[in-house]
Amino acid sequence: MKASRTKERVTWIIISVLVLLYALFPVVSIMATSFKLPSELTSGKFLPSSWTGSNYEQILVGSAQDLFLSSLRNSIGIALIATFIAVVLATLCAYAIARLDFPGKKVILTTALAVSIFPVISIVTPLFNLWRNIGLYDTWPGLIIPYLSLTLPISIWTLAAFFRQIPWELEQAAQVDGATTWQAFRKAIVPLAAPGVFTTAIIAFFIAWNDFVYGISLTSTEAARPVPAALAFFTGASQFESPVGAISAAAIIVTIPIVLLVLLFQRQIVSGLTQGAVKG
Amino acid sequence: MASITLQNLVKQYGDGFPAVNDVSIDIEDGEFIILVGPSGCGKSTLLRMIVGLEDITSGDLLIDGKRVNEKAPRDRNLAMVFQNYALYPHLTVFENIAFPLRLAKGKHTDDEIRKLVTDAAKTLELTDHLERKPGNLSGGQRQRVAMGRAIVRQADAFLFDEPLSNLDAKLRGQMRSEISQMQRRLGVTSVYVTHDQTEAMTLGDRVAVLKKGVLQQIASPRELYEQPVNLFVAGFIGSPSMNFLPATLEGNVLKTAVGDIQVTEDKARAAAGKKVVLVGLRPEFFEDASLVEEHKKDLGSTFMAELTHTEWLGNEQYGYINFDPDPEVRELLNSLAAEMDADELRPQIVVTLDAASRIRGGRSAELWLDTRKMHIFDPETGDNLTRDAEAGAALTQEANTARAEEISEAREREASTAGQPA
């Protein structure tokens, strides 16, 4: 009995280590690259022989500063606004889906699903033409609107599942206790839904933050170009120098907020994804 | 405190299915009414119509004589205890109980709220738990918090939706008596939904039995038990339930599977002209013939039967007798069972015997049957042919008087304890 339990534990440890290696190796590799000198990039060694911060210097205060910092600002702004709008709309929509019986409820849910599995790349070209005609090309709204198409469906689905779990009796009890519909929603439902809304917001933020296809296709200047797209425009110090070091450094920097968010809110994210956050 | 009047209430869902069909009940001020029936009989729907969580399709709902059909739940001033308690998980016990008071903005000062909540907590023995969250409480404590939320405000009536069904059997008994005492002490009109007939019989001043949205009978528990209006009520009330035996009438004698039963003139007259009738016999009408005193024996009839098995419970024992009805009657019994939410009703007679009886399964034994309280039912309509409406009304009247006395006694006691210095 005891032996089999130890064996089980060992098996689990081995599997965990393998998964960790698989998941973290690319990140560590990029991190190592970000500390290498340009001359060392093709050395074939994993770790830099001499650690340097020159790549970080280049993107934060050096020649690539304009490109990187403006794109960072764009990314943060666009992702936050897209997340905010998506969450507010999705909360109202999901609440209606979970609580009300109205014609077209199924249609909304299936449409949301269809939109989310629709290949992004196939609408980029028409969107590019349309945006240029109506003047949304290379603007923040020009990215926020397509980002909503990515973030809204998943937000609606997670939140609808979340609202369905909140016992309807709570609202009814509040109404019997003397609350208006709005008070019942605000005092009984919102506090319970807050973790779910928060989780959804984080997930939506990731999606908007990580997008590349829209970012590179619908922008042309620093006015709206987000980080993932900006990385592709990095050049080395001279045209003969590879920009890989600087790109790696930028990649590490944009990963940091994501890692922080996940570490801080991992419990909520997991419970939001498995939809078990409300206990009666 | 208020009276509630239901006038021809109908609830029809979108597909035209009437969940509640033409129900009229007059609930007096201070009365404890139970709505009981098998699942799907519309009892919860009816309660939710009273509180305002379900729209009323047609009919009128009056509270204290005023029509409230269109009023929102919050304007009806009723308190409700939900089956799953519906406590707010993010609030402490104190805030849960204070919730209705806080919603009535400006009506209560903070000090008043504190006083009202601590008073309610004291009566419910929740004082030690006021700062805890509902998630950390046991089932019984949660139940009491839900009750606290109801009693803290001066609601006109309490509505209970199967409040005890999530508790274990022992706690249920305890909470049942607490609810009963609290209701008497506060003298507040209460409507209580349950499918548990022990709760129905013990708590209710009057019990309303519903079947498929239709009110079958509303009467005191004793009247329901002794003078049921039809087969459904007779079979639903009582545990083990009433035995239904097919019988044919010849003169003043009912020929049944358990022998011939002599019936009185008026009972025979009520059953006359029917080819087959159903005789309703409660298990406790039977007894081991050897244990019946001589002078009682003549009040019933004796017969020989073979018991398949017996179950000894300490204070009494149940015996089972199989009989073979003809297909028509079997069909009827089965449809009756389906209506009552039971499995197939086996053609079986359950008898209650004295615990001292030596009768054992597999052997023939002589049984005595008390025929005084038996009823005869029409198998087609299900009507009780021998119901004595007057006797039934008297029983319900008795219960009403008892209730009035209990409430006034409770109020006197309250007044005298309140008069004493604490």
Predicted confidence (pLDDT) per residue in A84-113, tens digit? 999 999 998 998 888 888 888 889 889 988
Query: According to the model, what pLDDT value does residue A225 have?
Result: 87
Rg (CA), chain B: 25
Residues sharing a CB contact under 8 Å with residue B105, sequence separation 6 or more, in sequence order: none
**Which of A178, A278, A280 minimises the CB distance to B100?**
A178
- The domain B4-226 is placed in CATH, from the list 3.40.228.10, 3.40.640.10, 3.55.40.20, 3.40.50.300, at 3.40.50.300
A280 vs B104: CB contact, 8 Å cut-off?
Answer: no
Q: In chain A, whose CA is at the least distance from the CA of B52?
A: A176
Query: According to the model, what pLDDT value does residue B67 have?
Result: 92
Q: How confident is the model at residue B117 (pLDDT cuts 50, 70, 90)?
A: very high
pLDDT of A64 over the 80 cut: no
Q: Which of B13, B45, B48, B53 to mutate to test the interface with A (most CBs of A within 10 A)?
A: B53
pLDDT of A40 over the 90 cut: no
Query: According to the model, what pLDDT value does residue B93 have?
Result: 92
Q: In chain B, whose CA is at the least distance from the CA of A171?
A: B86
ipTM: 0.79
Query: According to the model, what pLDDT value does residue A85 have?
Result: 95
In the numeric block, which tokens belong to residue B304? 């020989």
Q: How confident is the model at residue A278 (pLDDT cuts 50, 70, 90)?
A: very low
**Which of B53, B74, B89 minimises the CB distance to A180?**
B74
Q: Please, what is the average pLDDT of chain A?
A: 84
From chain A, pick out residues whose CB is under 8 angstroms from the CB of B80: 173, 176
Strand order of the sheet with strand B18-27? B18-27, B4-12, B58-63, B66-67
Query: According to the model, what pLDDT value does residue A237 have?
Result: 59
Min mean pLDDT across A147-156, B68-77, B197-206, B322-331 is at B322-331
Q: Which residues of chain B does CATH 3.40.50.300 include?
A: 4-226
Query: According to the model, what pLDDT value does residue A280 have?
Result: 35
Residue A136 to chain B, least CA–CA distance (Å)? 44
pLDDT of B361 over the 70 cut: yes
Min mean pLDDT across B127-136, B173-182, B408-417 is at B408-417
Query: According to the model, what pLDDT value does residue B296 have?
Result: 83
Under 8 Å CB pairs connecting chains A and B tally to 64
From chain A, pick out residues whose CB is under 8 angstroms from the CB of B78: 176
Query: According to the model, what pLDDT value does residue A271 have?
Result: 64
Query: According to the model, what pLDDT value does residue B343 have?
Result: 57
In the numeric block, which tokens belong to residue A233? 């425009």
What is the arithmetic mean of pLDDT over B151-173? 88
B86 vs A191: CB contact, 8 Å cut-off?
Answer: no
φ/ψ bin of B262: left (φ > 0), alpha (ψ from -120 to 50), beta (otherwise): beta
pLDDT tens digits for range B262-294: 888 888 888 888 878 888 999 999 988 888 888
pLDDT of A250 over the 90 cut: no
Residue B139 to chain A, least CA–CA distance (Å)? 12
Q: How confident is the model at residue B11 (pLDDT cuts 50, 70, 90)?
A: very high
Residue B336 to chain A, least CA–CA distance (Å)? 33
Query: According to the model, what pLDDT value does residue A277 have?
Result: 35
Domain at A64-274, CATH homologous superfamily? MetI-like (1.10.3720.10)
Min mean pLDDT across A57-61, A123-127, B160-164 is at A57-61
Min mean pLDDT across A17-21, B27-31, B295-299 is at B295-299
Higher pLDDT, B324 or A184: A184
A167 vs B52: CB contact, 8 Å cut-off?
Answer: no
What is the arithmetic mean of pLDDT over B353-382? 86
